[in-house]
Amino acid sequence: MAAGMNDFISKPIDPDGFLGVIARHLANDDAPPGAATAALDAPDLDDEQLDGLARLLPPARFRMIVESYLSTAAERLERIESRAADLDYLQIGREAHDLKGTAGNFGARRLQLLAEALESAAKAEDAVLIPILTSQISEASQAAWEKVRGRLQDVA
Residue 93 pLDDT > 70 = yes
Q: In the chain, where does DSSP find H-type helix?
A: 15-27, 35-39, 47-56, 59-86, 89-105, 109-123, 129-152
- Greater pLDDT, 41 or 109: 109
**What pLDDT was estimated at residue 10?**
66
The pTM (predicted TM-score) of the whole model is 0.73
Average pLDDT, the chain: 82
What average pLDDT score do residues 93-120 get?
A: 92
Residue 124 pLDDT > 70 = yes
3-state secondary structure 84-100: HHHCCHHHHHHHHHHHH
